[in-house]
């Protein structure tokens, strides 16, 4: 949520602004390192880089999820989380095959 710019960081407004500014700097650096068609694709996406952030998340969510859950041995959610079935995410909160329960990407943070 933070990467995609959809975090419900309702706490301190100064901290929220600071976080957003830092993310814009990070994704500006990523954008500056892009070349050719990729750079052109995101040329109108600045200064927030929301599309670049969305695409970055799509490409990196599995690695981020693994980093977050690497020490969550034996953890699972209390209800179905994997694809369209009712299977719970087991084994470090991952679905069968190591996929992540992506349905959480679009659930407001406070409801997770």
Q: Which domain holds residue 77?
A: 13-111
Q: Is residue 102 part of a domain?
A: yes
Residue 64 within any structural domain of the chain: yes
d(CA 96, CA 44): 38
In this structure, is residue 100 part of a structural domain? Answer: yes
Tell whether 50 is covered by a domain. Answer: yes
Is 31:39 a contact under the CB 8 Å cutoff? Answer: yes
Flag whether 2 is in a domain: no
Q: Give Cα 83 distance to the centre of its chain.
A: 17
Distance from the Cα of residue 27 to its chain's centroid: 14
pTM: 0.64
**pLDDT score of 2:** 63
Q: Kindly report, residue by residue over 71-112, the tens digit of the pLDDT.
A: 555 555 545 555 555 555 555 555 556 566 665 666 555 555
> Is 85 within the bounds of a domain?
yes
pLDDT, tens digit, for every residue of 39-63? Answer: 999 999 888 899 999 999 889 888 8
Provide the domain count of the chain: 1
- Six-digit token pair at 48? 């927030």
Residue 63 lies in a domain: yes
């Amino acid at each position: 949520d933070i990467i995609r710019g959809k975090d419900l960081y309702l706490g301190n407004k100064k901290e929220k602004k600071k976080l957003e500014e830092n993310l814009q700097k990070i994704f500006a650096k990523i954008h500056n390192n892009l070349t050719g068609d990729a750079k052109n694709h995101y040329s109108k996406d600045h200064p927030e880089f929301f599309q670049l952030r969305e695409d970055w998340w799509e490409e990196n969510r599995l690695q981020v999820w693994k980093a977050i859950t690497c020490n969550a041995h034996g953890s699972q959610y209390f209800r179905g989380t994997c694809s369209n079935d009712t299977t719970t995410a087991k084994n470090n909160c991952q679905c069968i095959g190591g996929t992540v329960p992506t349905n959480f990407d679009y659930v407001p943070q406070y409801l997770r």
